[in-house]
Amino acid sequence: MKALISVSDKTGIVELARDLHALGVGLISTGGTAKLLAEQGLPVTEVAEVTGFPEMLDGRVKTLHPKVHGGLLARRDTPEHMAALKAHNIDTIDLLIVNLYPFEATVAKPGCTLADAIENIDIGGPAMVRSAAKNWKDVGIVTDASQYPAVMAELKANGKLSDKLRFALSVAAFNRISQYDGAISNYLSSVNFEAEKLSEEYVPERAQFSGQFNEQYVKVQDLRYGENSHQQAAWYRDLAPAAGSLATGIQLQGKELSYNNIADADAAWECVKSFDTGANGDLSQSAACVIVKHANPCGVAVGANPLEAYSKAFQTDPTSAFGGIIAFNRPVDKSTAEAVSKQFVEVLMAPDFSAEALDVFKSKVNVRLMKIALPANYGDVRNALETKRVGSGLLLQSADNHELALADLKIVTVKQPTPEELHDLLFAWKVAKFVKSNAIVFCKNGMTMGVGAGQMSRLDSARIASIKADAAKLSLQNTVVASDAFFPFRDGLDVVVEAGATCVVQPGGSMRDQEVIDAANERGVAMVFTGVRHFRH
C-alpha cells in the first residue's frame, strides 16, 4: 500500500505519516512535505524519483505526470488498466493526502495583489484530488486534517478503508474542489482588468459583487417541511459560520426546529445582538429581550437584568407573544426561566442557561432551548451580505449594518429632544431596523409600546401600532416614534402625535420634508433626521 502526501497546511501530518509508516504503508511526497518527513526520520520517496522528472517552474509542475495520475486513476478490477500500469512501470497509489494552496486565506490578507493570488492557485493538487476522488472505489482521498483520525482508525482496525468511508471522503473532496474553484472564480471575476494596476491591493469589499457569484453551504439538517407542510426544506450554514450566529447554536432540548422556527429565530437573534455596546449611555450594561412572531418583533425591551427585560417586552403585545420566539443577549437565570415558562414559547435563545433555569424547562419537553455563545465583540460580528431568491435569479446586497449614534442625529424642529427621549429614539431606531416595512415603532423607557409592521401604507402601520398598544393597555402618551422611512406627507406624523408621541425619528429625504417639519413645529413635538432608512422586505 502506498500513500502520496502533499500538503500546504502541515498540521498533524508528521503524526499521520508515522502512523502510516508503522502500518507498513510506503510514503511518497513532494517538496517541502518530503523534506519535513525526512527530517523527522521517516523513509519517504520524493515524487521526482517516482516520475523520473524533477519539479520545475518554481514548483508549478511536479505531480502532473502519468506515473502519478495513472497510479491514482487505474481501476484495480479492470485487467486492461492493470496491464497498462505494468507495461509502463506505474505503481498504484492507494491513499492520497492533499490540502491545497491557501488561496482563500491569501486573498483575505490586507495588501494581497493579483500576483499573490495567482501564485496561490493550486493546479497539481486539485488535479490529483479529482483523480483520486473519481476512483474512490480503489483510492482514499484525504483533504482535511479533521479526517485523519477516522482514516487511521479504519486502517488500524481493518488494514484498509471501507467503501462507505472512501465514498464519504470522495464526496468531501469534490466539495472542497467546488469551494476552492468558487473562491477563485469570485476573486478573478471581481478584478477590473487594467494592466497598469494589476499589482494593486485586492479589496474584498469590491469583490462582493463579482462577475460571477459562487457560494457554498453545508447542510445542517433536513427539516420536516418548509413554511407549509406541502413544501420540502433543509437548513444550511456557511462554510465558516461567524461566531455568535444562529448557525453556531446548540439545541439543548425540545422538538426539532422547523423552517419557520429557524427563520423567526434568526430575526430575534440578530435583533437582540444589536443591544451590545456602551456608545449610547444606558444601553451599555443592559440586558435585552426580543420576542418575535412571524418574522417581526412584537416586543423588545432592555432592563437591568433578563427578567426585567422580558417582563417589559412581554407587556408590549401579550397576544402576539403567544407561541413566539424569545431571545436574550444575557444568560437566562432561574427567575427569568420561571417567568417565560408560564407562557407558550416555541424557541428560547440565550448565550447560556443556568443549571436552575434548565431544571425549570425539564417538564416543558417541547420547548426548544438554544444556547448560542456570544464573543466579546458580538455586536461587530455580522453578515456581510444578504441574498434573496427571485425568479431564476438572486438579489445580493451588503447587509444593513448601519449603526446610529447620538452625533448622527440632525434635530430639525424648534423643540429639542430631552436626554431621555434621545436614548429612547436610539432604542426605537434599533428596533425599527428589524421590523418589516412599512415600520412604525412607539417606545418609552427602553421598551416597545406599540409596533406596526409590514403594511402597504405607513399610515396603516401607525394606526395598527396604536391599536396594539390599546389592546395591551399601554399608554402612548409621551412616547417616541421611529419610522423606518420618511413621512411622504404630514398625515403620518399627525397620526403618531395624536396617539401621544412627543418625539419622532425618521430618515428624512422626502420632497415634502419641510411640510412635515412645519407640522411637527405646529404640533409642538421634536423631530430628528437620521439620513439613513431601514427598509426591510
What residues are labeled active site? Answer: 134, 294
Angle 452-471-333 (CA atoms, 0-180°, nearest 5)? 85
| Grid cell for residue 479 | 412616547
- Taking every pair of Cα atoms in the chain, the longest distance, rounded to a whole number of angstroms, is 97
Backbone φ and ψ for 326, nearest 5 degrees, come out as -120, 135
Which are the contacts of 232, defined by CB distance < 8 A and separation ≥ 6?
Answer: 225, 226
Report d(CA 46, CA 44) in Å as an integer.
Answer: 6
Query: Which 8-state DSSP code applies to residue 522?
Result: H
Residue whose C-alpha cell reads 432592555 in the numeric block: 302
333 half-sphere exposure, CB direction, 13 A CA radius: 8
Residues 40, 432: Cα–Cα separation, whole Å: 61
Question: What would the grid cell of residue 155 be?
Answer: 486502517
Cβ-based burial of 164 (10 A; exposed 0-12, middle 13-18, buried ≥19): exposed
Sign for the CA dihedral angle at 69, 72, 78, 84 comes to positive
Instruction: Look at residues 10, 204, 5 and name the one whose alpha carbon lies nearest to residue 117.
Output: 204
* Chain center to CA of 41: 44
DSSP per-residue string spanning 313-382: HHHH-HHHHTTEEEEESS-B-HHHHHHHHTS-EEEEEES-B-HHHHHHTTT-TTSEEEE----TTGGG--
Phi-psi region of 31 (alpha: psi -120 to 50; beta: other; left: phi over 0): left
Q: How far is CA 534 from CA 142, 290, 404, 425, in A?
A: 46, 18, 11, 14
Side-chain half-sphere exposure of 453, counting CA atoms within 13 A:
21
Amino acid at 173: A
How far apart are the C-alpha atoms of 479 and 448, rounded to whole Å? 9
